[in-house]
Structure 1
Amino acid sequence: MTEITSKSNEHFRRWSDLSSARGIKKHNEFILMGEKLIEEFLANPNFKVKAEIIHEDLRSLTPTSSVAQFGRIPVFKLPKAMFNELDVVGTHYNLLVLEPKALPALPNDHKVQGLELVCPLGDPGNLGALARSALAFGVSKLILTEESVSPYHPKAIKASAGAMLKLPMFKIGKFAEYVSSHEGLWALDMKGENVAKFNWPKNLQLVIGEEGPGFSGIKGLQRLSVPTHGVESLNATVAASIALFSYANSVKN
């Protein structure tokens, strides 16, 4: 076990960067946080573990877990105040530094299979919440555009309740370029066909965007909506969850 007491330590400075998508990309690491998520991961590890971080009141988990079979995991002990700076979502539990998996590019000759979500989402909380619903309702894959936040952002993983680490994910270029070169894309928007009355095909790509301007000005998208009463619109991920439920129920029947 290695003790770190200085904020100028190279490991601590690197880990401090991992609260941002830019830092995750730069260092090719992300931090898994949360007791339940870590327990689930250690029972079935599917990412390379680079390090475990604890403080004086925590006991190391990795030496007695299934990841020990792959070799010794470096364990670092920090003062509680420094540990809390890294524990950005406030779990007060051991932290695991993992190596993210490179997202494969969606093949040019890709054929849509099942319900696929195209996600130009820059907010990690929205992306994570969407991933949670996507896993619950049988979405076949998430397709992340160039504008999307890193799926390994700590807030995205927390909001997804771990779903972000289980879903098949692919990457594409800029959203507008993808729309201009692909036909048959549907977008969840304020104006469009009612999702409850829509004749859902089994294979479809559905675009989920942020609140605000939505997809105004973007041509080539067919539109679906979740009608509301008393409010102008729903949170994007709430509306998406309703649409995903509608799809799952339609296809099942």
Structure 2
Amino acid sequence: MTGGGSRLIESPQNARAKLWMALGETRGIKKHGAFLLAGRKTVPEALKRHAAPFSAVLALHDKDIAALKPPTALERFVLSRALFETLDVNGTGFPLLVGRVPAMAAADFSKPPKGLELVCALGDPANLGAVLRSAAAFGAKRVVLMEAAAHPFHPKALRAAANAQFELQFLKGPGWNALNDAKGALAALDGGGEAIEDYKWPRDIRLVLGEEGLGLPAGLEARRLSIPTTGAVESLNATVAASLAMQAHFAAMRKA
């Protein structure tokens, strides 16, 4: 114990330290069902608005933990500088939170969507995080993660999403073929599709975003939508296109 009631961990060979170090990669996150949250703004905000998923706080000093004022239920650990800096991949120097990854049920495409539901296969965790931030901003409460998608609680996804993960429900998606039998409206972003401003958005719809580079499966039976541009660039980044589409749905629902 330290003077502030926290437990001191100095060695990277400590069992807890090994677990925390594994959370920098998808494999470790899946194995342990846990993640690390970093950030001078995101950590205090998460404790204030979404404290339930968290189990521990890690810091360099007791005073850093005291200043954060975490709930008494959270375990408190003071780490050696070398160990803390290994875990603090973003270099914030600010306390880290250890959280539990929420359970993710299997998506059921036999039932129609309720509201805007994002079906996503983005494999880059930073891109996925950016899309999740837009999803939370524009009211997509459910996100179906297809097999190729990055883990939403990867450190890069957490950093890009700015706590959006805690506003969303995540579901595990099956193979692409299952979408062909999906009930309800289904639209997909495709550079060769109809102009998005001509589309009459239904309130309840699944919006599909394919993999970076590979795009959508050729046989996917969905309404294809495109974002008109000047043509000065070949295509929009997938995160930008998805954000524009979700904002278009959000705007349409506000006018409805």
Shorter-chain TM-score above 0.5: yes
- CA distance in 2 between partners of 1:125 and 1:112 (Å): 26
Residues 210-229 of structure 1 mapped to structure 2, 5 A cutoff:
210-228=211-229, 229=231
- Measured after TM superposition, the shift of residue 108 of structure 1 is 5.4
Q: How does 1:73-88 map to 2 (within 5 A)?
A: 73-88=74-89
Gaps in structure 1 of 5+ consecutive residues = none
> Contact 2:8–2:79 at 8 Å: present in 1 too?
yes
- For 2:33, which of 25, 28, 31 is the aligned residue? 28
Distance 1:46 1:103, change over 3 A: farther
Partner of 2:12: 7
Structure 2: give runs of 5+ residues left out of the alignment: 1-5
Divergent runs of 4+, >4 A: none
Moved more, 151-160 or 209-218: 209-218
Structure 1 counterpart SS, 2:105: coil
**Aligned-partner SS, 1:196:** helix
Shift of 1:216: 4.7
> Does the 8 A contact of 1:121 with 1:208 survive in 2?
yes
Task: Tell me the SS of whatever aligns to 2:191.
Answer: strand
Counterpart for residue 57 of structure 2: 52
- The residue correspondences of 1:97-176 to structure 2 (distance < 5 A) are 97-107=98-108, 109-174=110-175, 176=176
Per-residue CA distance 1:57-77 (angstroms, 9 max, x = gap): 852149843x21xx3x32222
For the residues of structure 2 that align with 1:142 and 1:46, how far apart are their CA atoms?
21
Task: Report the alpha carbon displacement of residue 241 of structure 1 after superposing the two structures with TM.
Answer: 1.0
**SS of structure 2 residue aligned to 1:129:** helix
Contact 1:58 1:93 in 2 (8 A): no
1:45 Cα deviation from its structure 2 partner = 3.5
Separation in structure 2 between the aligned mates of residue 225 and residue 197 of structure 1, nearest angstrom? 10
Q: Percentage identity across aligned positions? A: 39
Q: CA deviation at 1:219?
A: 3.1
CA contact (8 A) 2:62 2:78 kept: no
TM (norm. structure 2) is 0.88
Moved more, 158-167 or 51-60: 51-60
